[in-house]
Amino acid sequence: MTDAQLKSFYYDDLGWCGCCNPAAALEYMRDVLAAIKANNDPTPGQAEAILDGIVQSALGNPPREWDESRKRLEALLGGEEHGTLGLSYMYMLDAKELTEHGGNVMGCWLTDKGRDVLDTLTPLSSEDIERILDTHHDDTGTTL
């Protein structure tokens, strides 16, 4: 994804404005997408390990790495205290076609578009994102 495509994704696809702290919003999206990828989005060749993990989870003994990635995702989404807000965020990711799911949105996986957004955001700093979105903010979040 080019800088221009990321800018279009932010303003046009997501429909978000540039006030407050858009870099933090995209960094949060990056973190959530990365947690989803770690939790539910296998790399090629992991099918057998994923199937074993599903069986072990159903038996109440999820693999440690799954349990850790699930807990990270839950923490990012607000846990029990703010779970409805996190669920709403997951629905937004699904509606924007960054994820897809079967029976439960919390068991989603990344789409090609979601992987592309994650791959684009991963190396970017807050300053890079501000430059790409053409936004600059002071320490209070006020647009300069």
Q: Stretch 11-26: mean pLDDT, rounded? A: 95
Percent of the chain with pLDDT over 90: 51
Q: Which residues neighbour 103 within 8 Å (Cβ) at sequence distance 6 or greater?
A: none
Asked if residue 138 belongs to a domain, the reply is no
Q: 43 versus 77: which is more confidently predicted? A: 77
Amino acid at 56: Q
C-alpha 123 chain-centroid distance: 14
Q: Give the residue carrying structure tokens 């989870």.
A: 57
Give the closest residue to 93 by CA, choosing from 7, 35, 21, 42.
35
Asked if residue 143 belongs to a domain, the reply is no
Asked if residue 114 belongs to a domain, the reply is yes
Find the domain containing 97 and state its range. 3-133
Percent of the chain with pLDDT over 70: 76
Q: Is the pLDDT of residue 75 over 80?
A: yes
Domain count, the chain: 1
Alpha helices in 20-82 (DSSP H): 22-40, 47-58, 64-76
Please say whether the beta carbons of 22 and 129 come within 8 A: yes
Predicted pLDDT of residue 99: 95
Predicted pLDDT of residue 52: 65
Asked if residue 35 belongs to a domain, the reply is yes
Asked if residue 141 belongs to a domain, the reply is no
Asked if residue 105 belongs to a domain, the reply is yes
Predicted pLDDT of residue 40: 75
Predicted pLDDT of residue 73: 86
Asked if residue 142 belongs to a domain, the reply is no
